């Protein structure tokens, strides 16, 4: 099989990986880089468990081929939060009890983070739209919704108190 080498920046680190043209980004992340926080639930772009942020966009990594990620900047769940502490979205998930089995959690957190980066004051509809591509079978979504609301409120008050408007 043809091999090729791609370079990407993942969670702030530059990596060179040998791969094949037909390898999915998801497999590259999980099997080659052993970043197993990114999950596979359907392999078809339907569940959102494999969500990562690539070049600023949310993508289903099961639908991206490795060569398409050449030169890309990617954030996976392992790149959220740092040594000093958790990201506010992660904190909110814990505090709101938004986690049951946790399999959808990495994808949910990335989707929520991306949404809040673009919009600190999401309406109910916007929150729902933001994670409508992520399936969760355990929580019934309510507490995930609550967690995002909480994170939004906290982030926007840090942002100068503008979060009060629609809180």
Partner 1 sequence: MKFSEVNKPVKRVDAYEKVTGKAKFGADLFFPNMLYGKALHSKYPHAQIIKINTEKALTYPGVKAIITAEDIPNNKFGVIIQNQQVLAQEEVLYIGDGIAVVAAETKEAASEAIKLIEVEYKELPGIFDPEEAAKKDAPLIHSELEDNQVVHHRVRKGDVEKAFTQAEVILEREYTTQFVEHSYIEPEAIIAVPYEHNSLVTIYGSIQNPFSCRNAVANVLKVPLNKVRIIQNHMGGSFGGKDEVISSMAARAAVLALKTNQPVKMVNTREESILESYKRHPYKMKYKVGATKEGKLVAMEIKCIADSGAYACQTPFVTWRSVVQATGPYELPSVKTDTYGYYTNNIYTGAMRGYGSPQIVFAQESLMDELADELKMTPLELRLKNIYHNNSITASGQKLDNHQVSLEEVIAKAVKASNYIEKYIEYNKSQLGDKKRGIGMAVSFRGCSLGAEATDAAGAIVAIQRDGSILISSGLAENGEGLKTVFSQIAAEELGVDIKRINYMEVDTSVSPESGATVASRSTLLGGNAVKNAAQQIKRTITEMIADKFKVKSGDLVLRNENIYNKNNNQKIMSFDDAVDLANKLGVFLSAYGWYKAPDISWDEETGQGRPYFTYVYGCQIAEVEVDTATGQIEVLKMVAAHDVGRAINPVTLKGQIYGGIMMALGYGIMEEVEIASGYIKNTNFDEYLIPTIKDMPEIIPIIVENPDPHGPYGAKSIGEPTLELGAPAIANAVAQATGRRIRHLPLNLERVLLGHSLSKGGTKNDIL
Distance, in Å, from the CA atom of 130 to the CA atom of 46, rounded to the nearest integer, reads 14
Q: Are 152 and 126 in contact (CB under 8 A)?
A: no
- What's the residue count for the chain? 167
Residue 77's binding partner among ligand FES, partner 1, none (Cβ under 5 to 8 angstroms by kind) is partner 1
Contact 96, 146 (CB under 8 A): yes
Which range binds ligand FES by CB under 6 A, 13-21, 77-85, 98-106, 150-158?
A: 98-106
Beta-carbon contacts of residue 31 (< 8 Å; ≥ 6 apart): none
Q: Which tokens go with 80?
A: 């959220």
Q: Which of 6, 50, 53, 59 binds ligand FES (CB under 6 A)?
A: 50
- Which one of ligand FES, partner 1, none is in contact with 14 (Cβ closer than 5 to 8 A by kind)? none
Stretch 133-152 residues interacting with partner 1 (CB under 8 A): 133-145
SS3 54: strand
| 81 contacts ligand FES (rule: CB under 6 A) | no
**Among 157, 159, 158, residue whose Cα is nearest residue 167:** 157
**Which lies closer to partner 1 via its Cβ, residue 133 or residue 163?**
133
**Least distance to partner 1 from the beta carbon of 159, Å?**
22
Q: Is residue 163 a contact point for partner 1 (CB under 8 A)?
A: no
37 binds ligand FES (CB under 6 A): no
Q: Say how far apart CA 21 and CA 134 lie, in whole Å.
A: 27
Give residues 28-47 in contact with partner 1 (rule: CB under 8 A).
30-31, 34-44, 46-47
């Amino acid at each position: 099989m043809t091999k090729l080498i791609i370079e990407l920046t993942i969670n702030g680190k530059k990596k060179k990986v040998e791969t094949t043209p037909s390898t999915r980004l998801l497999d590259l992340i999980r099997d080659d880089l052993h970043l197993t926080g990114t999950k596979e639930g359907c392999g078809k772009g339907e569940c959102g468990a494999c969500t990562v942020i690539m070049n600023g966009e949310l993508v289903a990594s099961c639908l991206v081929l490795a060569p398409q990620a050449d030169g890309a900047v990617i954030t996976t769940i392992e790149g959220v939060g740092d040594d000093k502490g958790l990201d506010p979205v992660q904190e909110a998930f814990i505090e709101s009890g938004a986690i049951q089995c946790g399999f959808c959690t990495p994808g949910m957190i990335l989707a929520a983070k991306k949404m809040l980066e673009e919009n600190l004051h999401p309406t109910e509809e916007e929150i729902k739209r933001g994670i409508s591509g992520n399936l969760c079978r355990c929580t019934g979504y309510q507490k995930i919704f609550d967690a995002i609301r909480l994170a939004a409120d906290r982030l926007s008050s840090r942002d100068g108190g503008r979060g009060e408007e629609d809180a």
